[in-house]
């Protein structure tokens, strides 16, 4: 009997392997997706100057833990998905009243100004980030969005554009939970 | 050998240069440490590339950061910890040893031990088969006889004429 | 018209394969000679039809028929003719067609040269081959048809990825596929043996040359790919433990194990069950490799257009082929009678050790390659398993393997005297010490580990030569006598010596490349110089040149050593306008013991250029070693006994006193 099992072993191992393969092919899985390591961590220490030519002040860690839930959005004028995300973000900020802070990532100031003039500017504060800011936040690309609670703790982190039903399914429930 | 898939489709990783001259630290010892460390850090937007060989913007940013922290006196481990705190274990090309990776790290050893055990039992069974002569078939008897004969022959031949073993080679 | 002809030929090939896969199998089960005999003409017809389809696609590429999607997406009218032809397999669909062509080629070789095979075995082998062919023909026709038209046709094509427009890469895929597909022969023989419930020395004698042929191709293919990465990617690296590299390396590791265990089956009628399992697993890993590469399951440097539908199709193929054959193994392997007995310390025992370490190494690569997927499935977390992991786990498994590799060939069959073996290895030990000492002497900083590693390589190299020298009584008998002995020695014996020595050379190269390679990055203006590893590189400047389908900046470096001219290096930075893609063309000068390697980067706009100079000690030996290994395989293949195939089958077990054929 044990000998039989021995001969079955390769088949069993392959069956397990095939199970993983099947799981790996499922359309819901994005092989490129990178989970966030920032959830439930306090905001990193940072201090970003304002973007020249914009009226909004810059952004620093001190602005975040003010007892209020806020959203922080990394964006750039050269980033195509940011353009797609922009109207959703604007609408969300207006509707919910949650302060939206922007971090302008590796951008030319004049390009950022023109971009915001064209599309509208929903941000209360905008920090200009030469690149290091993104690393401090564990950001891998733009756009990425964070939701922080009143103590400045990161509660939600999304990589990629916040569009479609993501807002309804993930962002709004999170905001409701944080602001009873 | 990365060619196979390249053949099959579009290659995203550009064959371009990575480390730029302006990033290099003046202190060669520190620079050497930075380079070694860079090979352990994955460029998070690339596919299995270290920041040392990637030309992505973020890879450059992390390379600069690594150097800054080393200059500031961080140990290699502190630099890695800093990055893991922000990007998770994903950023390490050498996965940390922890419960989730026990199988990865100890798997090769387990496979080897399992194989050694299998080899051990294989030879033990063979010996059992050879000694349990009573129940052997005629053919097996003959084979056993040959096997038992052989060592003597080998011993007589081997040490004196090692260059020419018994078999015609 | 030509496209439709090719498409039609492919469909006919599928129908032929269906006949080849069914009737001869039934005939073999019933003992019907006429039905079994169908397999041979069917296999040849299948080859003719697939070759026709392949020729049709090649023609479409040569004449740049952009009404065919595949041609439009992967070719361009201005592309040099060589790359028009090699572009046929420079894409997913075309490469599948090449896969099928090579499979049909192997099948028809059994049909044409397998006259001395027992009819039922031949019918079953060809039947199994046909089923593999059916799977891939269906896959190609249903999900990856290269003959589809596009309307309206574009004015010109999108061109082949410039990185692939390279002679080294042009011939890499065919060799690699010939390796992968070549292992299907051992697989088919294993399945046929399981169905027949009979496996003997004669079986091993048929399997060995096919396995050896596949191994030669795979070794060559991997080496070619690695060489290409080395000179084309401009990183100075030659192996990256990327998933796509790993999936070609795994069949190589198991195929090498199979090569050795098949010898034990042939010579000693032992290790039969294990050999059958190895034959199944080796080909299974080739298939899994194809799956991983084409399904987008894992992220690799080569992100490619992935299609979940294709992935699912191949997965189903895997389930049927691998699952089915392993099920057959579980059911039928216990039927195979255990064979010859041997002591742990013996030639057979040496092969067992070889198999143990190769299999463990293969398992390590598999584990490392797939672990990110496992962990993600289990708890959603992501890890990266990169070169540091593989260096830490794979290398320790190779050390004992190489150590024992020196011992194995010196041990006689059945029972060996370890003391006697070590007595014959005195010279090898001396060689190892010399190499280690030389390393310590030449390199600063007392590099103990690299010195030990170089000693190990020398140990294997000298031991291989000692074994060969012992056989021909070199320096023990008059040279003329040794010459006579060398000539009468089986070619396979020479082949083994070459293969093992080649391995030692390649290992030395790998050690040198990983321990002592130097990289200097500098910003230079024309006229300035930099010094790397004792060589002076003077940057003479950059000129713009125009290639057939690219523009390039070509830099010129004059390399001197202590004032004496060594070489002129002209690395290029090319831009292929059709795909708007830059490539780097490294310039390499090899001195035989090291490579001088120059890459030109970007201009800083103020007259300076980023210059990258690598000094790569011993790197050329990696490919030299692979070449010697391939040569060893070819010499072995030319052995009369392997070429002729099996002798009379009735003589069940060749006596141990017969010629041992090492691989």
Ordered mean pLDDT values, 10 residues apiece, chain C (663 residues)? 92 95 91 88 95 95 90 86 87 90 93 86 93 94 90 80 76 89 94 90 88 95 90 82 90 96 89 93 93 76 61 90 94 83 88 95 95 90 92 94 92 86 90 92 84 94 91 83 86 92 95 88 91 92 89 94 93 86 88 91 86 92 95 89 48 39 42
Q: How many residues does chain C have?
A: 663
What is residue C541's three-state secondary structure?
Answer: strand
Report how far Cα C387 is from the mean position of its chain's Cα atoms. Answer: 20
| C576 Cα to chain B: minimum distance (Å) | 13
| Residue C547 within a domain | yes
Q: Which helix (H) or strand (E) holds C204?
A: helix C201-232
Contacts of A10 in chain C (CB under 8 A): 277, 280-281, 326, 329-330
| C241 and C288 together in one domain | yes
The residues in A 140-159 lying below 8 A from B, measured between CB atoms, are 140-141
Specify the number of domains making up chain C: 4
Contacts of C295 in chain A (CB under 8 A): 24-25
| C586 and C557 together in one domain | yes
> Is B86 within 8 Å of A134 when comparing Cβ atoms?
no
Could you tell me the fold of the domain covering B3-96? Helicase, Ruva Protein; domain 3 (1.10.8)
Domain that holds residue C487: 425-516+620-631
Q: Please give the pLDDT value at position B139.
A: 61
- Enumerate neighbours of C (3 or more CB pairs within 8 A): A, B
Q: Please give the pLDDT value at position C643.
A: 54
For C356, the closest of B119, B164, B168 (CB atoms) is: B119
- What is the model's pTM? 0.89
Q: Does B88 touch chain A (CB under 8 A)?
A: yes
Q: Using CA atoms, how far apart are residues C260 and B62, in angstroms rounded to an integer? A: 47
Q: How confident is the model at residue B125 (pLDDT cuts 50, 70, 90)?
A: confident
Ordered by start, the domain boundaries in chain B are 3-96, 100-135, 136-169
Q: Please give the pLDDT value at position B132.
A: 56
Q: Using CA atoms, how far apart are residues A102 and A83, in angstroms rounded to an integer? A: 14
> CA dist C92 to B3, B129, C86, Å?
13, 53, 13
Q: Please give the pLDDT value at position C144.
A: 87
| C154 and C43 together in one domain | yes
Q: What is the mean pLDDT of residues A56-78?
A: 90
| Residue C654 within a domain | no
Give the model confidence (pLDDT) of C54-111 as tens digits: 999 999 999 988 989 888 888 888 888 888 888 888 888 898 999 999 999 999 998 9
Which of C356, C373, C407 is the last residue before a domain boundary?
C407
Q: Please give the pLDDT value at position C613.
A: 92
Q: Which helix (H) or strand (E) holds C535?
A: strand C535-546
| B60 Cα to chain C: minimum distance (Å) | 15
Q: Which helix (H) or strand (E) holds A56?
A: none
Q: Please give the pLDDT value at position B56.
A: 83
| C170 and C139 together in one domain | no
| A18 Cα to chain C: minimum distance (Å) | 7
Q: Using CA atoms, how far apart are residues B40 and B62, in angstroms rounded to an integer? A: 12
Q: Does C309 touch chain A (CB under 8 A)?
A: no
Cis peptide before A37 (omega within 30 of 0): no
Give the model confidence (pLDDT) of C303-335 as tens digits: 455 666 788 888 999 999 999 999 999 999 888
- For residue B108, pLDDT over 90 is answered with yes
Residue of A nearest to C294 (CA): A25
Contacts of C626 in chain B (CB under 8 A): none
Q: What is the mean pLDDT of residues A23-52?
A: 86
Q: What is the 8-class DSSP label of residue A153?
A: B
Q: Please give the pLDDT value at position C105.
A: 94
| C502 and C530 together in one domain | no
- Please count the residue pairs, one from chain A and one from chain C, whose beta carbons lie less than 8 angstroms apart: 65
> CA dist C461 to C381, C482, C503, C629, Å?
45, 20, 8, 12
Q: Does C375 touch chain A (CB under 8 A)?
A: no
Q: Using CA atoms, how far apart are residues B62 and C530, in angstroms rounded to an integer? A: 27
| C108 and C174 together in one domain | no
CB A76 within 8 A of CB A141: no
Q: Using CA atoms, how far apart are residues B41 and B64, in angstroms rounded to an integer? A: 13
| Residue B119 structure tokens | 């080899």
| Residue C223 within a domain | yes
For A14, the closest of C323, C376, C382 (CB atoms) is: C323
| C125 and C74 together in one domain | yes
| C139 and C217 together in one domain | no
| C242 and C311 together in one domain | yes
| C52 Cα to chain A: minimum distance (Å) | 34
Q: Please give the pLDDT value at position C569.
A: 95
Pairing of strands C587-590, A144-148: unpaired
Mean pLDDT lowest for which of A10-14, B126-130, C441-445? B126-130
| C430 and C555 together in one domain | no
> Is B9 within 8 Å of C473 when comparing Cβ atoms?
no
| Residue C190 structure tokens | 């294993």
> CA dist B141 to B126, B135, B137, Å?
13, 9, 6
Cis peptide before C152 (omega within 30 of 0): yes
Q: Using CA atoms, how far apart are residues A170 and A156, in angstroms rounded to an integer? A: 9
| C370 Cα to chain A: minimum distance (Å) | 9
Which of C161, C193, C225 is the last residue before a domain boundary?
C161
Q: Please give the pLDDT value at position C657.
A: 37
Tell me the average pLDDT of chain A: 89
Q: Using CA atoms, how far apart are residues B58 and B39, in angstroms rounded to an integer? A: 15
Q: Does A127 touch chain B (CB under 8 A)?
A: no
Closest by alpha carbon to C264, among C213, C328, C219, C199? Answer: C199
CB A72 within 8 A of CB A48: no
> CA dist C100 to C171, C415, C418, Å?
17, 45, 48
| Residue C639 within a domain | no
């Amino acid at each position: 009997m044990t000998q039989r099992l021995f001969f079955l072993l390769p088949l069993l191992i392959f069956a397990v392997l095939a199970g993983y393969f099947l799981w790996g092919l499922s359309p819901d899985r994005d092989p490129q997706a990178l989970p966030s390591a920032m959830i439930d961590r306090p905001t990193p220490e940072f201090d970003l100057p304002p973007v020249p030519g914009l009226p909004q002040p810059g952004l620093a860690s001190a602005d975040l833990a003010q007892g209020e839930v806020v959203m922080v959005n990394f964006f750039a004028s050269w980033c195509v998905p940011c353009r797609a995300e922009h109207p959703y973000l604007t609408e969300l900020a207006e509707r919910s009243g949650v302060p939206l802070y922007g971090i302008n990532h590796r951008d030319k100031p004049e390009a950022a100004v023109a971009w915001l003039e064209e599309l509208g500017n929903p941000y209360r504060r905008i920090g200009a980030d030469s690149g290091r800011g993104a690393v401090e936040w564990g950001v891998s690309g733009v756009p990425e969005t964070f939701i922080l609670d009143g103590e400045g703790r990161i509660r939600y982190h999304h990589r990629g554009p916040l569009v479609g039903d993501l807002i309804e399914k993930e962002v709004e429930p999170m905001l409701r939970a944080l602001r009873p | 050998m990365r060619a196979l898939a390249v053949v099959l489709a579009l290659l995203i990783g550009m064959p371009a240069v990575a480390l730029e001259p302006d990033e290099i630290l003046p202190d060669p010892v520190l620079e050497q440490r930075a380079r070694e460390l860079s090979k352990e850090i994955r460029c998070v937007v690339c596919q299995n590339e270290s920041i040392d060989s990637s030309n992505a913007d973020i890879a450059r940013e992390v390379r600069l950061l690594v150097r800054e922290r080393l200059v500031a006196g961080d140990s290699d481990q502190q630099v890695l910890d800093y990055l893991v705190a922000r990007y998770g274990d994903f950023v390490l090309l050498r996965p940390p040893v922890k419960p989730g990776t026990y199988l990865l790290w100890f798997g090769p050893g387990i496979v080897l031990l399992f194989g050694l055990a299998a080899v051990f039992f294989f030879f033990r069974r063979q010996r059992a088969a050879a000694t349990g002569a009573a129940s052997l078939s005629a053919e097996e008897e003959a084979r056993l006889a040959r096997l038992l004969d052989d060592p003597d022959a080998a011993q007589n031949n081997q040490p004196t004429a090692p260059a020419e073993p018994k078999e015609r080679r | 018209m030509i496209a439709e002809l090719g498409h039609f030929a492919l469909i006919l090939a599928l129908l032929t394969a269906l006949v080849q896969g069914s009737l001869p199998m039934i005939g073999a089960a019933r003992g019907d000679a006429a039905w079994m005999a169908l397999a041979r003409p069917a296999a040849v017809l299948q080859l003719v039809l697939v070759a026709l389809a392949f020729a049709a696609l090649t023609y479409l590429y040569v004449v740049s028929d952009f009404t065919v999607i595949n041609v439009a997406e992967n070719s361009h009218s201005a592309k040099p003719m060589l790359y028009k032809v090699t572009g046929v397999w420079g894409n997913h669909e075309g490469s599948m067609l090449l896969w099928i062509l090579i499979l049909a080629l192997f099948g028809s070789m059994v049909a044409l040269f397998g006259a001395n095979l027992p009819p039922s075995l031949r019918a079953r082998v060809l039947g199994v081959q046909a089923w593999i062919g059916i799977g891939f023909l269906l896959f190609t026709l249903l999900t990856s048809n290269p003959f589809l038209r596009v309307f309206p046709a574009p004015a010109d094509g999108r061109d082949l990825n410039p990185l692939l427009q390279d002679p080294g890469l042009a011939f890499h895929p065919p060799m690699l596929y010939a390796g992968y597909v070549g292992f299907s022969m051992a697989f088919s023989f294993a399945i046929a043996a399981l169905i027949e419930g009979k496996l003997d020395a004669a079986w091993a004698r048929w399997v060995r040359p096919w396995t050896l042929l596949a191994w030669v191709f795979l070794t060559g293919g991997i080496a070619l790919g690695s060489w290409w990465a080395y000179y084309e990617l401009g990183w100075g690296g030659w192996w990256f433990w990327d998933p796509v590299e790993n999936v070609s390396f795994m069949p190589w590791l198991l195929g090498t194990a199979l090569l050795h265990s098949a010898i034990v089956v042939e010579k000693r009628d032992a290790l039969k069950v294990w050999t059958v399992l190895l034959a199944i697993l080796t080909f299974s890993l080739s298939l899994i490799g194809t799956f991983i590469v084409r399904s987008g399951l894992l992220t690799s440097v080569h992100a490619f257009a992935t299609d979940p539908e294709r992935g699912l199709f191949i997965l189903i193929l895997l389930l049927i082929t691998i699952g089915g054959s392993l099920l057959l193994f579980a059911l039928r392997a216990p039927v195979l009678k255990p064979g010859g007995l041997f002591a742990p310390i013996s030639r057979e025992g040496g092969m067992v050790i070889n198999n143990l370490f190769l299999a463990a190494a293969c398992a390590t690569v598999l584990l490392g390659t797939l672990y990110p997927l496992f962990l993600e499935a289990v708890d959603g977390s992501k890890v990266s398993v990169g070169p540091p992991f593989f260096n830490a786990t794979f290398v320790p498994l190779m050390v004992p393997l190489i150590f024992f590799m020196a011992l194995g060939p010196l041990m006689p069959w059945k029972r060996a005297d370890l003391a006697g073996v070590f007595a014959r290895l005195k010279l090898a030990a001396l060689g190892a010490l010399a190499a280690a000492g030389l390393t310590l002497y030449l390199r600063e900083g007392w590099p103990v580990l690299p010195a030990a590693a170089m000693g190990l390589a020398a140990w294997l190299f000298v031991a291989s030569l000692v074994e060969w020298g012992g056989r021909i009584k070199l320096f023990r008998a008059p040279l003329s006598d040794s010459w006579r002995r060398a000539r009468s020695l089986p070619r396979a014996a020479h082949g083994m010596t070459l293969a093992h020595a080649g391995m030692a050379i390649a290992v030395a190269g790998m050690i040198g490349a990983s321990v002592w390679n130097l990289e200097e990055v500098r910003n230079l203006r024309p006229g300035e110089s930099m010094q790397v590893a004792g060589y002076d590189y003077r940057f003479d400047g950059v000129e713009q040149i125009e290639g057939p389908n690219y523009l390039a900046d070509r830099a010129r470096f004059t390399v001197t050593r202590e004032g004496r001219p060594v070489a002129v290096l002209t690395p290029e930075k090319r831009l292929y306008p059709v795909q708007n893609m830059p490539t780097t063309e490294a310039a390499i000068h090899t001195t035989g013991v090291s490579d001088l390697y120059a890459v030109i980067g970007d201009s800083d706009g103020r007259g300076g250029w980023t210059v990258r100079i690598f000094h790569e000690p011993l790197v050329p030996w990696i490919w030299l070693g692979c070449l010697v290994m391939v040569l060893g395989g070819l010499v072995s293949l030319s052995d009369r006994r392997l070429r002729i195939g099996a002798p009379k089958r009735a003589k069940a077990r060749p006596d141990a006193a017969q010629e041992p054929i090492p691989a």
